[in-house]
Amino acid sequence: MLAFGPVPSRRLGRSLGVNNIPAKICSYACVYCQIGKTLKMEVERRKFYEPERIYNDVSAKVKSGERIDYITFVPDGEPTLDINLGKEAEMLRDFGIKLAILTNSSLIWREDVREDLMNFDLVSLKLDAVSDDIWRKVNRPHKSLSLEKILEGMLDFRKEFKGTIITETMLINIDYGEELEKIATFLKELKPDKAYIAIPTRPPAESWVKPASEVIINKAYQLFSEALGEERVEYLIGYEGNAFAFTGNVEEDLLSITAVHPMREEAVRELLRKAGASWDVVEKMIKEGKLIELEYNGKKFYMRKLGSR
């Protein structure tokens, strides 16, 4: 079966997955990949499955009657390697459900790939680095790829595409130097509808890989927010609770909100006031290792402590 789900997704609601690439054929060998090591590095587009098979598998899932917000191409490799991608997207339009795709952006410099992506309502672009050395260290691209061409391709696509563009930046335990500032500058030019900051939440391809520190994640959030506006930046750091619900339980609420973005001290105090709770709650949660206090530009922020560290 090449269709799976629907599964709950914070970005996409209830998402029906389409696995249009066999494991694990990719143009990258990212050190943090949760699917594991890349078995075949490829950059030439080719046929993998018959488009009719993908259509029929999706059709069977749609007929089950479960609510589906997006049909999402999120395979075991890089989805744009599929030469039939545009055709498959056109066929799936029949269902009247929005289409999304999660790509590592590596082939977006190609005009035919940009053309195929035009068939989607939402395109998620990977943006882990804008400097060659960090890109090679984190994404380990196919030797024929050029980061400069990829970044240009992303900007060209932004100009042409009328749908929703989101970016995803995975942060790991390396020295970023000035890289986060550089990514923020690029995001300002790209103008995505939303920029997500992620960390590895499942076992990575390389055992040395760990999530970046809370300090780095908070720094990325603040820099990206300065570039795009706070409402367009969000974390994907794996809190399993309902990231947007106010439960009436102030601890749960603090954890769920700070898993999506850091809270300023005054916002935390306001939440506590509404809940009729005192600052002791925050001190207790810091002591228990649930929350962490950070400083940025002279202001205090509170963020959920990463369980994986």
Q: Which two tokens stand for residue 10?
A: 């914070």
Closest CA to 307 of 208, 218, 233, 210: 210
Pairing mode, strands 291-296 and 299-304: antiparallel
Closest CA to 182 of 151, 206, 208, 160: 151
DSSP labels, 205-253: SSTT--BPPHHHHHHHHHHHHHHH-GGGEEEE----S-TT---S-HHHH
Q: What is the DSSP letter of 90?
A: H
pTM of this structure: 0.84
Which pLDDT does position 77 carry in this prediction? 92
User: Mean pLDDT by 10-residue block, N- to C-terminus, for the chain (309 residues)?
Assistant: 83 90 92 87 97 96 91 94 98 97 98 98 98 98 98 98 98 97 98 95 86 94 96 77 57 76 83 90 94 80 69
Which pLDDT does position 241 carry in this prediction? 44
Q: Which residues pair with 9 in a beta bridge?
A: 13
Fold held by 3-238:
TIM Barrel (3.20.20)
Which pLDDT does position 89 carry in this prediction? 98
Which pLDDT does position 87 carry in this prediction? 98
Which pLDDT does position 188 carry in this prediction? 98
SS3 191: coil
Which pLDDT does position 189 carry in this prediction? 98
Q: Which two tokens stand for residue 161?
A: 């595409």
Which pLDDT does position 51 carry in this prediction? 97
